[in-house]
Amino acid sequence: MTRVTQAAVGATLALFVLAGPVRADEKKVPLDKLPKPVLETVKKRFPKAELLGGEKETVDGKTEYEVEIKDGETKIDVTVSPDGTLLGIEKVIAAKDLPKAVTEALDAKYPKATFKTVEEVTKFKDGKEQPAYYEVLLVAADKKVFEVELAADGKVLNTEEKKGKKKD
């Protein structure tokens, strides 16, 4: 493989890793085509945010919209039902802002890993905001890519290896 080809392959892999997974049931939706209640909810919760993009997806047989925004320097994904009910928020945070128990659990399981994306996930149930978990996309020392969900106490809730996304 030529150096240029290697660089192109590396750049493509990096895009997949940094962009995160795209589920088969997700469909891009232009901002002007999102339901009015969805946009109103996002704008009410984040009045100064810049809306970047939208997706429609089906989760457990129900339609949801995910709106990607930038609030100041923070990237946030806001999940809203078609009727405007706020379902969840995934906010990108710095790794240093993870709870100590989460950092210790990751360091124990993935020593020398590189964190690519760290998110704080909040869910809403019956209109009440509940911190749910932390989601970390990382590259392990063996170059395998994992998405790990952890509770604030460091308990691993879910781990998914991102196959075909080895980082060289």
Give the mean model confidence (pLDDT) for residues 111-137. Answer: 93
Q: For the chain, what percent of residues have pLDDT higher than 70?
A: 83
Give the sign of the dihedral formed by CA 140, CA 93, CA 162, CA 12: negative
Average pLDDT over the chain reads 85
**The tokens 């704080």 sit on which residue?**
120
Contact yes or no for 134/119 (Cβ under 8 A): yes
- Tell whether the model's pLDDT for residue 165 goes beyond 60: no
DSSP element (H, E) containing 87: strand 86-92
pLDDT of residue 62: 93
Q: Residue range 154-159: average pLDDT?
A: 96
Domains recognised in the chain with CATH numbers: 93-168 (3.10.450)
Number of H helices, E strands in the chain: 3, 9
**DSSP characters over 104-161:** HHHHHHSTT-EEEEEEEEEEEETTEEEEEEEEEEEE-TTS-EEEEEE-TTS-EEEEEE
Q: How many CA atoms lie within 13 A of 107 on its CB side?
A: 9
Question: How does pLDDT run across 2-52, given as a tens digit for each residue?
Answer: 333 333 333 333 333 333 334 447 899 999 999 999 999 999 999 999 999
139 contacts 145 by C-beta, under 8 angstroms: yes
In the 8-state DSSP scheme, what is residue 46? S
